[in-house]
Amino acid sequence: MTTHAPQAAQAVTLPTTLDEAVAALAAVPAAVPVAGGTDLMAAVNSGQLRPAALVGLGRISEIRGWQYQDGHALLGAGLTHARMGRPDFAALIPALAAAARAAGPPQIRNAGTLGGNIASAAPTGDALPVLAALEATLIIAGRDGARREIPVSHLLAGVDMLRGGELIGFVRVPLLHAPQVFLKATGRTGPGRAAASVALVLDPARRGVRCAVGAIAPMPLRPLDAEHWVARLIDWDNGRTIVPEALSAFGEYVAAACIPDPAPEPDGSVPQLPPAVLHLRRTVAALARRALGRALS
């Protein structure tokens, strides 16, 4: 039995602007940014991470609110789950508010931030499938006031990663003014932790449906074929109606796209999915069916 205490950080910097935070990270490349600390401090306390220095983001007021910008909402990365769960924010982006309210117990919601949820990229992060379905864009702050934009899906997929000294400053989300739904099923993986989640948004202007499935893979999955298929079945001109059978078919389509059948064996036989995986696929199908039904109603 060992008593292995985590090594304390040698320095803590508390900048008050985004550019000051970027400068602090550039000055000490080994420094780690911390906002809510719900993931970071768990790693520190378990001895998995021993940061040489910390850059606290809690005093940067510019990233703790939101504003309107050309038909979009510009969300600060420092927004907490508790703040996003309030009614005024729910009127703005309902699915993201629902995900924020589902993000664990009150102490997690009060501390955890939108930017931290994205940067940690934990598969069970509740905000991630919502941002993927909304096709959100990240505004990354770099040195000397530089800003660049990348789709949130590119960061989560590892296509475009944060560079040294960069921080997620803001998240730009399109305001669709249409129904949005977030649903999740929890299992035995921890309090409030998703076993599977589904975010679904309607885009009446483009007559489209966007869906993202979270928690079942390292990043949210977009069943694009299922989206296009069901969008053609919706009567957009008459109350966005759809035949009931299409709801069930959509759920099965999404589930099969995200959790496909095993490849055939050399002898032509098709192996069965393990019971746990089959149960997960049924869960995804039920969530997708319910999410579309609620959005259309």
Region 49-68: what's the mean pLDDT?
Answer: 92
Q: Examine the domain organization and report whether 150 and 202 are in the same domain.
A: no
Reported confidence tier of residue 42, pLDDT bands at 50, 70, 90: confident
Does 5 map to a domain?
A: no
Per-residue pLDDT at 271: 87
Q: Examine the domain organization and report whether 193 and 266 are in the same domain.
A: yes
pLDDT top residue among 118 and 271: 118
Q: Examine the domain organization and report whether 146 and 195 are in the same domain.
A: no
Per-residue pLDDT at 83: 96
Reported confidence tier of residue 8, pLDDT bands at 50, 70, 90: very low
Per-residue pLDDT at 191: 53
For residue 119, pLDDT over 80 is answered with yes
For residue 139, pLDDT over 90 is answered with yes
The residue among 148, 174, 200 that closes a domain is 174
Q: Examine the domain organization and report whether 47 and 76 are in the same domain.
A: no
Q: What is the spatial distance between Cα 62 and Cα 60, in angstroms, rounded to a whole number?
A: 6
Q: Examine the domain organization and report whether 290 and 229 are in the same domain.
A: yes
Q: Examine the domain organization and report whether 235 and 160 are in the same domain.
A: no
Reported confidence tier of residue 188, pLDDT bands at 50, 70, 90: low
Q: Which domain holds residue 155?
A: 66-174
Region 195-205: what's the mean pLDDT?
Answer: 95
For residue 117, pLDDT over 60 is answered with yes
- Number of domains within the chain: 3
For residue 247, pLDDT over 70 is answered with yes
Does 6 map to a domain?
A: no
Question: What CATH code is carried by the domain that includes residue 38?
Answer: 3.30.43
Question: What CATH code is carried by the domain that includes residue 277?
Answer: 3.30.390.50
pLDDT top residue among 49 and 237: 237
Does 61 map to a domain?
A: no
pLDDT top residue among 11 and 61: 61
Q: Examine the domain organization and report whether 139 and 244 are in the same domain.
A: no
The residue among 174, 200, 235 that closes a domain is 174
